Structure 1
Amino acid sequence: MSEAARPTRVLVLNSGSSSVKYQLLDMADQSRLASGVVERIGEKGDAGREGGDDGVADHAAALRRVAGELAGRGLGLDSPELAAVGHRVVHGGTRFTGPTLITDEVVAGIEELVPLAPLHNPANITGIKVARELRPDLPQVAVFDTAFHATIPEAAARYAIDTATADRHGIRRYGFHGTSNAYVSRAAAALLGREPSEVNLIVLHLGNGASATAVRGGVSVDTSMGLTPLEGLVMGTRSGDVDPAVVFHLARVGGMGTDEIDTLLNKRSGLLGLGGVNDMREIGRRMAEGDERAQLAFDVYVHRLRRYVGAFTAVLGRVDAVVFTAGVGENSAAVRAAALAGLDGLGIVVDPVRNAVRGSAGRLVSAESSRVAVAVVPTDEELEIARDTYALARG
């Protein structure tokens, strides 16, 4: 087949625990042809029926709905212009350290990693299986959230517990948001007019989930999330770092079971636990009204950010830019300003005028006097997955 006749479209699927997000991209010009989401999968809908208001009972039904929506736009999965399907998979463990062409053996390998990501990998697997049924002739590629962090050295990846126990149960730092970090690291280097291999970055991915990553020359060398996405920064509903003995204390003194503690730390903590709401925009509104809980939530949030910026500055030795991305990172000037305030000793100075400007493109918000650039770079995980998928599918 001639180069001009090759199919160039890639369908990106992100099968979450209760939703399926999709984008169809044409890699000839990296344009988006379609996107959408099917939500509330398996929830009770009207009159107690399964599937929520949309009547989607499970992920298989949701993916078939996606296929129907695309067909209704003349972009069906049977199109000869579709080159491949790319799947976001949350956990690849130590086995999957790059984009991987999906086979039965690969699916089995992802299933073996379910204990490390019980909320996410099962849904990812369902998406893969249904997509393979719908188009068994197409290359299907798994792109793993953890893969970008496979380069973290052992000194940063290891927890200081008995190594035999750790190895037996796969306990180590894996890191997440890797697809976002890969995209943002390259985009930030381009914004600075340099090659990724030339720059050291601290990437702050701040959404409902949040992580910090130290990137040296385009390679992850440390990150805040660990065995699971619970460790590290304060998040929308997750606690981030806590003394591990908190778990024992809650069990022994509070009489709480492991599932109850899991729910507390993952779903009832973070901004929600401190401030009563998990949306940073609402936190800001309540702060303006004098809400002390909201102010505390904000203060704890930015204090944790500052700790990681300082720590990762030490890890990297030299920092060329601090990069903010994802919903909060891209949109909250207050978080950016507060997190980096007073760090002029580290060469980090935010320009208040530049920082206040909103925009959809990558931009610098640091002062002219700042030795370290401060950048806002919108992430695009779907495009990153599509690029990886297309490159692997083409061989």
Structure 2
Amino acid sequence: MLILVVNCGSSSVKYQARDTSLEGEKQVLAKGLIEEIGTKIPDHTEALAIMAEQLQGPLHGRTIDAIGHRVVQGGDIFTEPVLIDEKVLQQIDDLSPLAPLHNPAHVLGIKAATETYPGVPQVAVFDNAFHSTMPEHVYRYAVPHEFYDKYAVRRYGAHGTSHDYVTGVAAELLGIERDNFNAVIAHLGNGASMTAVKNGKCYDTSMGYTPLAGLIMGTRCGDIDPSVLTIVQQRGNISAEEMDRILNKESGLKGLTGHSDMREVENAAEAGDKNAKLALDMVTYRIAQYVGSYHVAVGGAQALVFTAGIGENSDVVRRGVVERLGALGVKLDESKNSVRSPEPRVISTEDSAMPVLVIPTNEELAIAIATEEIVSGR
């Protein structure tokens, strides 16, 4: 089956065309990134028209069989992939307050795909679906019941497609049955989250009601005392909308260093920038905190797994995290940590209390598999 995987952001469209009858990377017939939507490119409809044109050569006239969309937030409505119809599209739109930077763009992308590929079945694969197995005492907040009953205020999480995929690969690499696998997964990119995996399923995750909670990210603040927000709003006469923008787009690494890209932060730290060094310490400390708490949550993790852009490529961040885990007996093999490779691998010493793994994520593959299963009725 020829599956088009689409990931729409507010100003970009990332895509892959995959032939699921082929093996490995041979599946990927074409891929690309279209940026500057809203500036150089008018809208998502035009962006997908450009995408369709770019696909003509690599696909040699083949017809797209189905389209799989990454959707960040499905709330507690969607706990698995679903075929998109008008009702589903409206529900995704209604859930936009839970992912204000993402769901509106997904809706625009789905509508644009409908115009570009009329009649082609489309499937929504939800980032938070993997986290639907969290028990209530984990996903609830200690706020009045009314907040939960009226506004569905609870922890949802994100990056679930990645966490799910990486969990399966890690268990297989270590020769452990997934149903018996306990791990801490660190998905570290510009957006970052941790997941406690217990018996192969999500038990807890660091992102919350929105993707703003948890780790320090490229432009997001992560965990913060809520009173900071109300006090700064009052003293600075800042609106709720402006505060939301600051926390999502001007905080995190960008707020601390002026750089939202971890590579630039690492370079600045190496050049002696004190703010960059502080940011690295803050980031690695926060990750190590979650490793410790999630190790307890799952009753003893059998692995710590790094994935996504930073997790897969930054030996500096991995080292900074593991150096803080001495009390757990976790040890890094520096020669293995310094190697860059597209292959799943162990980077800890043989006498480490738990193996430390680097597992390249492949959300596009996971979305393609889910899309094929839904469309074919498997």
User: Same-fold call, TM > 0.5?
Assistant: yes
Unaligned runs of 5+ in 1: 1-7, 44-51
State the secondary structure of the residue aligned to 2:202.
Answer: strand
TM-score w.r.t. structure 1 length?
0.92
- How do residues 227-266 of structure 1 correspond to structure 2 at under 5 angstroms? 227-266=209-248
1:342 CA drift (Å):
4.2
1:130 matched to 2:112: yes
1:19 matched to 2:12: yes
2:38 alignment counterpart: 42
Q: State whether residues 88 and 145 of structure 1, in contact with CA within 8 Å, keep that contact through their aligned partners in structure 2.
A: yes
1:207 matched to 2:189: yes
1:340 alignment counterpart: 322
Amino acid at match of 2:5: V
Amino acid at match of 2:359: V
Amino acid at match of 1:37: L
1:148 matched to 2:144: no
Amino acid at match of 2:247: L
Distance in 2 separating the partners of 1:179 and 1:75: 30
1:375 alignment counterpart: 357
Unaligned runs of 5+ in 2: none
Can you list the C-alpha shifts for 1:198-235, whole angstroms capped at 9, x where unaligned?
21110101101110100112211100000111100011
Distance in 2 separating the partners of 1:358 and 1:121: 33
1:328 matched to 2:310: yes
Q: 2:87 aligns with which of 93, 101, 105?
A: 105
State the secondary structure of the residue aligned to 1:360.
Answer: coil
1:118 CA drift (Å):
2.6
1:394 CA drift (Å):
0.9
State the secondary structure of the residue aligned to 1:343.
Answer: helix
1:90 alignment counterpart: 72
1:274 alignment counterpart: 256
1:293 alignment counterpart: 275
Distance in 2 separating the partners of 1:348 and 1:301: 18
2:149 alignment counterpart: 167
Amino acid at match of 2:113: A
Can you list the C-alpha shifts for 1:340-382, whole angstroms capped at 9, x where unaligned?
2142332311111211111111110011001211000011111
CA change 1:65–1:342 in 2 (3 A) is closer
CA change 1:133–1:264 in 2 (3 A) is closer
Distance in 1 separating the partners of 2:256 and 2:223: 14
Amino acid at match of 1:119: L
Higher mean displacement: 104-113 or 305-314? 104-113
Distance in 1 separating the partners of 2:324 and 2:108: 48
Q: State whether residues 89 and 124 of structure 1, in contact with CA within 8 Å, keep that contact through their aligned partners in structure 2.
A: yes
Amino acid at match of 1:321: A
Amino acid at match of 1:343: L
State the secondary structure of the residue aligned to 1:339.
Answer: helix
Amino acid at match of 1:330: E
Distance in 2 separating the partners of 1:116 and 1:281: 29
Root mean square deviation of aligned Cα: 1.4
Q: State whether residues 45 and 115 of structure 2, in contact with CA within 8 Å, keep that contact through their aligned partners in structure 1.
A: no
Can you list the C-alpha shifts for 1:111-167, whole angstroms capped at 9, x where unaligned?
221222233212211221232333343321100111111111111100100012222
Distance in 2 separating the partners of 1:169 and 1:18: 28
Q: State whether residues 275 and 295 of structure 1, in contact with CA within 8 Å, keep that contact through their aligned partners in structure 2.
A: no
Q: State whether residues 206 and 213 of structure 2, in contact with CA within 8 Å, keep that contact through their aligned partners in structure 1.
A: yes
1:75 CA drift (Å):
4.3
Amino acid at match of 1:132: T
1:60 alignment counterpart: 45
Q: State whether residues 286 and 294 of structure 1, in contact with CA within 8 Å, keep that contact through their aligned partners in structure 2.
A: yes
Q: State whether residues 111 and 122 of structure 1, in contact with CA within 8 Å, keep that contact through their aligned partners in structure 2.
A: yes
Q: 1:316 aligns with which of 286, 298, 314?
A: 298
Amino acid at match of 1:39: E
Can you list the C-alpha shifts for 1:169-220, whole angstroms capped at 9, x where unaligned?
1211000001111111111111112222121110101101110100112211
Distance in 2 separating the partners of 1:240 and 1:352: 29
1:283 alignment counterpart: 265
Can you list the C-alpha shifts for 1:250-282, whole angstroms capped at 9, x where unaligned?
012222221221122111111111122122222
2:29 alignment counterpart: 33
Amino acid at match of 1:71: Q
State the secondary structure of the residue aligned to 1:127.
Answer: helix
Distance in 2 separating the partners of 1:112 and 1:273: 30
State the secondary structure of the residue aligned to 1:253.
Answer: helix
Distance in 2 separating the partners of 1:99 and 1:201: 24
Q: State whether residues 59 and 126 of structure 1, in contact with CA within 8 Å, keep that contact through their aligned partners in structure 2.
A: yes
Amino acid at match of 1:95: I
Can you list the C-alpha shifts for 1:291-324, whole angstroms capped at 9, x where unaligned?
1111111111111111111111111111000000
Amino acid at match of 2:13: V
TM-score w.r.t. structure 2 length?
0.96
1:74 CA drift (Å):
4.0
State the secondary structure of the residue aligned to 2:236.
Answer: coil
Q: 1:393 aligns with which of 363, 370, 375?
A: 375
CA change 1:342–1:242 in 2 (3 A) is closer
Amino acid at match of 2:312: E
1:193 alignment counterpart: 175
